[in-house]
A and B are shown apart, each in its own frame.
Chain A
Amino acid sequence: MPTFTETAKATKKKREIKLVGSDMYIITEKGIPKFDDIGPFKCEFISNRGTKVWPGFVSPDLLQVNWYRCRFMATKDVQDADVNTFLDALTKKGWWWSAAQKLWNYDGEPGFSKAY
């Protein structure tokens, strides 16, 4: 008789995983960051406290803190090594980042949320 844990683990489905980008968490006191394309990575949006601050309308009343989530999407097929190169390039450009979160599609569906 399998345990509940064993039964649960046995239900895991195999999913196709594809790297499609990276969320970068940037710390800056200079307001909303601006990025040129970095290799195959293009900035798609920037959010602050979960609210999209670029591109598009930003309420002048919006509270922004010094921590921005910057979503970079790959413009072509990329591998993990391309993310390493991207992180090096970002650091060399002077951006101070607290964390990176790779973005994967699972069976073709995004495994990451959009910003409000």
Chain B
Amino acid sequence: MGTQHVVTMLPGEGTGPEICEAVRMVIDASGVNIKWEYEDIGLDCLEKYGTLLPDKTVQNIAKNKVALKGPTTTPIGTGHKSANVTLRKVFDLYANVRPAKLIPVLKRPWDKIDILNFRENTEDCYAAIEHMVSDEVAQCLKVITWPGSYRIADFAFKWAKEQGRKKVYCVHKANIMKMTDGLFLDAFREVAKKYPDIESGDIIVDNCCMQLVRNPAQFDCLVLPNLYGDILTDLCAGLVGGLGFAPGANVGDGCAIFEAVHGSAPKYAGMKKVNPSAVLVSGVMMLRWLKEEAAADRITKAMFAVLDERKHVTYDVGGTATTDEYAQAIVDKMHAKV
């Protein structure tokens, strides 16, 4: 056993706990040494703590600086703030890293998609500055700052360079929002000068959407303000097989939280039928963050092999396996290859 990592596990609600248990089983079987510390988050906390994100959870994440999170649900139109957004705000997790890569066995109409999205995670219309400025007019402030824009671009270029990526493009609407998106683009261009070996450029968000669905292979790395990032990362997930296989990481200067981006599917809770792959591939991202590349590779290969065989896959990819059976098949495949 190598270095022990202490990781906060946030199972979330709905199908989250059963997914996270399956993922934990796979990660623990990969040979990595992780001590998991479980904490509560989400709707189930409301009755117990009166909040979606208890202080105890915040303190544990602050201590461990890395967490794996299951799905949570944000109530629509109620007074409760999203636990996800609160986490990003409290820990200033400014970089939402959302890879979109084709999984070989999932039949898609494209030969190649390998896009790394870097979504700014703390600003834009997510600054929660909303007012009813008259009895028939609502207003939401779109807050874009120079340092907030600069650091996400810098983060993206650095990550891209480390991964051997070739192109980083800024997605914006600066032709219309000349102050806000204009500032975001200016900061991006300033950062790009520091990375002369990487091709940089920009694309207007609506054109980017059209190009993504026509010819996604042309894109490499994208840097986006928060709201466009929210939308385009889900679009990219749809291109490669849906949210069921989409990993995500929320990274700040002092902390990283890895999470699936799909919902908690409460109607399936306890049925152990949902696909845990999104949390699993988020866990794989976490392992790479922890420099556990061998374990990450082992899980990825085993998962692809199980998907390829189609004998032990969940209903969403045409199988009948339960969450646990799918996870066990990945574990068995890892052990078979040792």
Contact = CB atoms under 8 A, between A and B. Distances in A.
Contact of B89 (A12, A23, A116): A116
A13 B128 CA distance: 26
Contacts of A103: 131
Contacts, number: 77
Interface in A55-100: 57, 59-63, 65, 69
Contact of A101 (B123, B133, B151, B252): B133
B131 A49 contact: no
Contacts of B147: 63, 65
Given A112-B130, A114-B128, A59 B151 contact: no
Q: Classify the secondary structure of A's interface with B.
A: loop
Contacts of A111: 131-132
A12 B136 CA distance: 8
Interface residues of A, number: 27
A52 B252 CA distance: 17
A52 to B, nearest CB: 8
A12 B131 CA distance: 18
B143 interface: yes
Given A57-B58, A61-B252, A113 B130 contact: yes
A17 interface: yes
A94 B282 CA distance: 49
Nearest to B85: A116
B81 interface: yes
B94 interface: yes
A69 B133 CA distance: 16
Contact of B143 (A15, A49, A104, A116): A49
A112 B131 CA distance: 4
B180 interface: no
B58 to A, nearest CB: 7
B135 interface: yes
A35 to B, nearest CB: 19
B255 interface: yes
Interface string B123-153: 1001111111101100000010111100100
A112 B86 CA distance: 18
B76 interface: no
Contacts of A104: 132
Contacts of A69: 129
Given A57-B58, A113-B130, A116-B86, A50 B135 contact: no
B199 interface: no
Contacts of A65: 145-148
Interface string B71-86: 0000000000100011
B92 interface: yes
Interface string A100-112: 0101101000011
Nearest to A115: B128
A61 B88 CA distance: 12
B135 A63 contact: no
B96 interface: no
A27 to B, nearest CB: 13
Interface string B248-263: 0000111100000000
26 contacts: A12-B136, A15-B135, A47-B129, A49-B143, A50-B89, A50-B127, A51-B92, A59-B62, A61-B252, A63-B92, A63-B94, A63-B122, A63-B145, A65-B148, A101-B131, A103-B131, A111-B131, A112-B131, A113-B128, A113-B130, A113-B131, A114-B128, A115-B128, A116-B81, A116-B86, A116-B89
Please name the 3 residue pairs, one residue from A and one from B, whose CB atoms are nearest each other, closest first: A50-B127, A111-B132, A116-B89
Interface of A: 12, 15, 17, 23, 47, 49-52, 57, 59-63, 65, 69, 101, 103-104, 106, 111-116
